[in-house]
Structure 1
């Protein structure tokens, strides 16, 4: 059988070796030959077969180098396959105008003059006034603010921002209407005789990097400045320069050095100045479940240095449910004319200005559980030159500032949650316990405060309800006979609603002091009772 196969294959092999080459690149393959081509290796051991030449290998390469020219059409992407989320419209302007009682006017708005990539310029303004003279003589006020802001963001890795603001606020010393039996006869004054006006011009400029530098360094420099005066020739100016640099290690451990120079000068018949310097280096280490921050606040005032250690540690006890923290910090807090009158606008025009020196030690827990974000903290603060307030005893009551040293033990708790879809709730509780060296009470400083707020937007589309409840204990003060007493308790309920008729036009209503509480935050100065403002809003 083998001999028969060999005899049949020899003529074919002879024809194969007789070819001088493949001129056309085509090969006729005999089916019977293909059936035995896999067994060709066996014939190498047969003595009657001639050796194979290498031309067969070239033949194989010639066949492989003739690829088929197949044309592939590019895929066609249909637009309907892309599902883009709708974008909220961007508005350059916003306005809110309303009126109400008692003789209330509200006007506020903002507009972006330039709003493009890398540059934004805009302004904002606000006016709010009320006049309750129908019930309390000269109980009226007016707040006026206008500001210009700008920002430049370079693709070179830095940004510059700044703003200029001017405010002109009016109020009246109507406390004489509450003196009661302290004076033999009922007092009355013209509005101009009890008028006060605060004019404030302020600004800020800031330079900072908007991209991490090659060396892993962030930098920032800011300058705040202001000048202000009241209607009784009291003037004050200030400047606060802050230089800050942060070096990041492994993109999570920052080393920060901050230098601050805070100057302010007050002038009426005399001059007073508060010039503070601060050097604050800190380092933070972030572990997987803990964070530690250490540093020092070196403060200088009147050529005297004070060192305040900075230490804060936090530990994630249960994954995002419970985080424990504790720390200490300290520094100087300015009681300049601007800060004091922002806290108590019925201040005398020539107060004594001092720094408050404090050291704060605190600890607590924070976290989130089933959508409820919470924070609870206890702390103790050593305070030197704590600002207290008492009336001057005049027929037009105004407040003097006096200072004391002591300690404050505090308990605070905060929470924020979304109870159901569309209903958000937040609250804050604060309890302070004062221990003073000289004064019997912390005059006009609250010890207990509770704030609760809620917003609901699930009943009707484009309609939002808001409510706020403020509770505060009656602050301690001195009666006309010199004995201590507490003013009445604050219980203030505010309700509001906003409705959007279209993308551009809406309406609002705000009702304040629904319970008509006649609380006195400052002795002899009762709050305005029930009041409301309603109006329209526009976006353009």
Structure 2
């Protein structure tokens, strides 16, 4: 205890003495001056610049280290909810349902009936079968016609298509039955009622064909097509035509040459001549080669080609060689707005009874069939767009043809044992050289995808060598068309056809006789349709809206105002 007290006393004494000394030192502090110096701030100029880069021999120093980054995903709760945006765009119309089978049927005045049937069936993965059936008929009833003027036309076609690994082939065939009457007897007539009643003006024309085509994907041999057509009528006429066209294609440097070999055989027979009771036979063979080279250079497209044919007349046992140009060119002068084009082309045209009948159903079964030497058809023109939705085309041409066919009326012939075509109510064919100058223009306007309009007109100037004029050829033709989709259900359209005046004569031609002038005519047609559903449509067609009994051929007035209404049905057959 005494020891602790001693220690405390010693600590107290030391503390007291220190405090006294501190007070004494505090009294001795003098005044001093303090100099403040600015801190040193180094600059780049103060640094010592290395004049030479050091050389490092340590390989580990220069080695680039590979750094691997890893992301450690950790779900984090969030209350953020993004708002859904609304896209702005074109509103697409619903896609129209397409069916593989279509059936349409309509009835109209003049006891008219019309039928259209079409189906496209997939036989298997690589094969398709298409079938088409068309029928158009009328029981007649044209004013001031003294003979039966009914007609019907039925056409059936089939096509089978198959795709193989390296080629595709198709086989097709068809049958057509046409019935027309030679009702074009001039009125008034000197024939008595019993004589008129005894006339049978009916002509049945029957035609059928078989054909096929093979196309290859690779190789020089590209395709071959074959067509055989047989035609006949009620008067023991017959015609056979066989056409075969193999095509080859081979490259030369950077270009491609295409060549087509042609063999066209035509034979036919008529039971008699119009003025003599002797049969008429014809037999022609056309063989040759046509081809060309296509050059594409920026805005220029040039087709350089020619055709060489040998035409042989087996009846007269003579033949000749024909050479024709096949040259076309186009130049895009101002993008799609101005395109210049032109060409010179020719061909040996194999005229035939079938084609004559399709052009004029009132020809007699006593025709003179002969080929036409179309030496050349030269033309130049310009086409393009005036604006984004207005297109145009203008063209001028000059053509020369030898032995061009002209339809001309047959004279009355009482020696034909009262055949239905022997009363001046049928047409024959004569041939002459023809030179034609033509100018044509076309305008098209597409206001929208729902409204389109177009108009076209052509002016012709003819020159013949032996006959007085180009019989039954118009000097002016014009067409105008409009199609309008009003809404998804309603649609309508129309067409106007104008044909200028023509002149006709009688065979044999009497140079002193005045030709008959057929007046120009305007044929106005329209249609209106309503879509009931995806499968059903109803329609209405009006032809010859102006109710003109014009004559396309002399003494053959057409039906007046024609009305036809019907329904169409689309469906899947399977």
Alignment of 1:297-316 (within 5 A): 297-302=307-312, 303-316=319-332
- Structure 1 Cα separation of the partners of residues 256 and 337 of structure 2: 26
Report if aligned partners of 1:296, 1:307 keep a CA contact under 8 Å in 2.
Answer: yes
CA distance in 2, matches of 1:369, 1:195: 52
| 1:527 correspondence with 2:558 | yes
Tell me what 2:431 maps to: 403
Report whether the alignment pairs 1:143 with 2:143: no
1:95 aligns with 2:103: yes
Asked if 1:293 corresponds to 2:303, the answer is: yes
- Distance across 1 between alignment mates of 2:62 and 2:383: 78
Distance (whole Å) between structure 2 residues aligned to residue 309 and residue 537 of structure 1: 47
Q: CA deviation at 1:134?
A: 6.4
Give the distance between the partners of 2:461 and 2:346, measured in 1 at CA.
Answer: 19
- Equivalent position of 2:269 in the other structure: 267
The equivalent residue for 1:255 is 257
For 1:187 and 1:276, locate their aligned partners in 2 and report how far apart those are by CA, in whole Å: 49
Q: Which has the larger radius of gyration?
A: 2
The equivalent of 1:37 in structure 2 is none
Paired residue for 1:276?
A: 286
Q: What is the CA-CA distance between 1:266 and the residue it aligns to?
A: 0.4
Structure 2: gaps spanning 5 or more residues: 1-57, 76-86, 271-278, 313-318, 413-422
Q: Does 1:469 align with 2:487?
A: no
1:160 is aligned, of 152, 169, 185, to 169
Equivalent residues of 1:138, 1:191 under 8 A apart? no
CA distance in structure 1 between the partners assigned to 2:70 and 2:345 by the alignment: 79
Alpha-carbon RMSD: 3.0
Give how far 1:113 is off: 3.3
The 3-state SS of whatever aligns with 1:375 is strand
> 1:402 offset after TM fit, Å?
0.5
Offset at 1:196?
Answer: 0.3
SS in 2 for 1:193: coil
Indicate the residue corresponding to 2:273 in structure 1.
Answer: none
Note closer, same or farther for the CA distance 1:265–1:412 as it changes in structure 2 (3 Å cut). same
Q: Distance between the aligned counterparts of 2:306 and 2:122, measured in 1?
A: 42
> What's 1:111 paired with?
119
- Is the Cα contact below 8 Å between 2:296 and 2:302 reproduced in 1? yes
Deviation of 1:534 after TM superposition, in Å, equals 0.5
Give the alignment of 1:136-285 within 5 angstroms. 136=145, 137-154=147-164, 156-176=165-185, 178-180=186-188, 183=190, 189-190=196-197, 193-209=200-216, 211=217, 213=218, 219-247=222-250, 253-268=255-270, 269-285=279-295
Equivalent residue of 2:200, what SS? helix
Contact 1:475 1:521 in 2 (8 A): no
SS in 1 for 2:371: strand
Matched, 1:363 2:380: yes
- Residues 1:70 and 1:89: Cα distance change in structure 2 (over 3 Å): farther
Counterparts of 1:193 and 1:259 in 2: how far apart (Å)?
45
Aligned to 2:344: 328
In 2: Cα distance, 1:89 partner to 1:377 partner: 40
- Residues 500 and 187 from structure 1, CA distance in 2 versus in 1: closer, same or farther, beyond 3 angstroms? farther
Change over 3 Å in CA distance of 1:415–1:186 after alignment to 2? farther
The aligned residue for residue 121 of structure 1 is 129
- Which moves more between the two structures, 346-355 or 371-380? 371-380
SS at match of 2:467: coil
What is the aligned partner in structure 1 of residue 530 from structure 2? 499
| Contact 2:331–2:339 (8 Å) recurs in 1 | yes
For residues 457 and 334 of structure 1, what CA distance do their matches in structure 2 show?
42
- CA change 1:240–1:70 in 2 (3 A) is farther
Residues 372/186 of structure 1: CA separation in 2 closer, same or farther (3 Å cut)? farther
Q: Specify the alignment match of 2:6 in structure 1.
A: none
The superposition leaves residues 198-221 of structure 1 with CA deviations (integer Å, 9 ceiling, x where unpaired) of: 101012211113x4x3x6x57111
